[in-house]
């Protein structure tokens, strides 16, 4: 079976291609290894990659450095803000505790006033009870005298009646 060869310039098919025998070289190819061209291409590609990388870095590196510096400044500002916030929180806590202390003092004044009133009432009650005790003693002394006098009068009367 024969395969037609490549067409001729006038469009007519040519005959079968020449048959290669063992050891014959392929027409159109050099006797160099196919990897040799790749190594040269890789060296050229490495250079191109390096140049492209340098170009890319030179294009973006200044912006990245400015961004890095801006982030560092923001981080420093954030630390300062956090410190300030912590100080304000501690001031707020102190102020809040001062309010608590003021409330305690107000409450203490209120209870002190109550105690003063209770003391005054106790003193008044003491005075009243002392007066009542004196009056009771006076009354009971008068009553005893009267009752003793009365009982002595009754005794006299009884003696007189019995005699």
Ramachandran angles phi, psi of 33, nearest 5°: -75, 145
0.85 surpassed by pTM: no
For residues 13 and 5, is the Cβ–Cβ distance under 8 A?
A: yes
Token code pair at residue 50:
């390096």
- Joined together, the tokens standing for residue 52 give 């492209």
**Tens digits of pLDDT across the chain (163 residues):** 455 555 555 555 555 555 445 545 455 555 555 555 556 666 778 888 999 999 999 999 999 999 999 999 999 999 999 999 999 999 888 888 888 888 899 999 999 999 999 999 999 999 999 999 998 888 887 776 666 565 666 667 777 777 6
């Amino acid at each position: 079976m024969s395969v037609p060869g490549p067409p001729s310039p006038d469009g007519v098919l040519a005959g079968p291609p020449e048959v290669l025998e063992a050891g014959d070289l392929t027409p159109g190819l050099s006797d160099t290894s196919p990897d040799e061209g790749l190594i040269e291409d890789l060296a050229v590609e490495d250079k191109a990659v390096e140049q492209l990388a340098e170009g890319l870095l030179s294009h973006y590196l200044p912006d990245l450095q400015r961004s890095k510096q801006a982030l560092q400044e923001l981080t420093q500002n954030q630390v300062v803000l956090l410190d300030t916030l912590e100080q304000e929180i501690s001031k707020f806590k102190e102020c809040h505790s001062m309010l608590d202390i003021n409330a305690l003092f107000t409450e203490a004044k209120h209870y002190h006033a109550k105690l003063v009133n209770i003391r005054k009432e106790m003193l008044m009650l003491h005075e009243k009870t002392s007066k009542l005790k004196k009056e009771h003693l006076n009354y009971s002394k008068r009553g005893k005298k009267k009752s003793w006098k009365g009982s002595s009068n009754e005794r006299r009367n009884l003696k007189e009646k019995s005699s």
